[in-house]
Amino acid sequence: MTKTAFLGTPEAALPTLKALSETSDVALVVTQPDRARGRSKQLLSPPVKVAASEFGLRVEQPTTSVLLYEALSSIPDLDLAVVVAYGRIIRPESLLIPRMGMLNVHFSLLPRWRGAAPVNRALIAGDTMTGVTIIKLDEGLDTGPVITAQAVDIAPGENVGSLTERLAVLGAQLLARSLPRYLSGELEPTPQSEEGLTYASKIEKADRSIDVSLTSIEIVDLVRGLAPDPGAVLAIDGQPHKILEASVVEEIIDEGTWQSRDGSPIVGAAGGSFRIDLIQPPGRTVMRSTDWLRGRGVHSGGVE
C-alpha cells in the first residue's frame, strides 16, 4: 500500500484526510501547533489533530521548517504527501522527501486565486464559478503543475463557510479519483498557465470594514466572503457590528445612513442600498436583524 503523509490544519482538511486514510497507509499527519483561543486563552488542538488522533494516526506539530523536515524524514520510504490548508510555507528540502512529491488540494481554479484565502477572495470579487485544483507543489506560491481540476458554480447567497465546506468534500472526492492514476503515471502534471492569474492574500483586519462608498452588490459580496467568520464589520451609530448576512434591495436610502423599512434595517451605499439580515452587536450573540431592531427603540441613524 502507498505510504503517505498528510499536512493540514482546519476543518476543511478533514474530508481529504479521511479519504487518504481509506486508500493509503498514512504514516504521519502534520498540523499546526495548538493555539490559545477565546477570552480564556485555553489551548485548543487543530481539527486535523483531533481527527487524526481518533483515527489512531501519528501526529506531529512542528514549529519550524527544520522540525518539519525532520518529521517527514523520519518516515522511511515515504511515497507521497498530500497538503490541504496546512498554513505554513513548505521549504524545498521537505518537498523532495516523498518519492512522488507533494500534492496540494487547493480551493480555486488555479491560477486564479493563488494564496492564503482563495474562497474568501472569490466571493468578495463576485465570482460566479470556482473549483478545486490539485497541483504538485514546487517552490513557488501555488505555482506547481496541475494534476487535475474540477469547476463548480457558486450558488447565489452562498457564503465562505458553506462554499468551503462544499469545496472540501469535492477536493477529497477529486483526490480519491485521481490518486491511483497519478501514482500509476497515467496523470502527468501539466505546467500552470499564467493567464488569469490573481492572488488571494490573507484576510486582514482592514479588509473586514464595510465601506458604504462601494455599491450595494460589492458590499453584499464582501459580507458573503467573510461570513460566518471573521465577519464583515459596519459601524452603526458609532458602534462596530458584525454583519453576517445581507441582501441588495431596491429602496433608496441616503449614503451613510440606515433606516427601518418593513421591520428590517436598510443601509444606504453609494450605488444602491442593502438590507442587513443577520447581525452581531458588540458583546452579544448573532441575531436576526429584525430582533436587533426591535430591541433598539430607534428606527434610523448613521453608519460609517
The string of pLDDT tens digits covering residues 172-191 is: 999 999 999 999 999 999 99
How far apart are the C-alpha atoms of 177 and 179, rounded to whole Å? 6
Q: Each residue of 213-253: pLDDT tens digit?
A: 999 999 999 999 999 999 999 999 999 999 999 999 999 99
pLDDT band at 267 (very low <50, low <70, confident <90, very high): very high
Distances 207 to 129, 161, 234, 239, 279 between C-alpha atoms, Å: 22, 17, 12, 18, 18
Q: Measuring CA to CA, which residue among 75, 82, 79 is closest to residue 31?
A: 82
For 3, the grid coordinates are: 505510504
How far apart are the C-alpha atoms of 102 and 189, rounded to whole Å? 12
How far apart are the C-alpha atoms of 221 and 247, rounded to whole Å? 9
Q: How many helices (H) and strands (E) does the chain have?
A: 8, 18
- Give the strand pairing for 239-249 and 272-280: antiparallel
pLDDT (0 to 100) of residue 117: 98
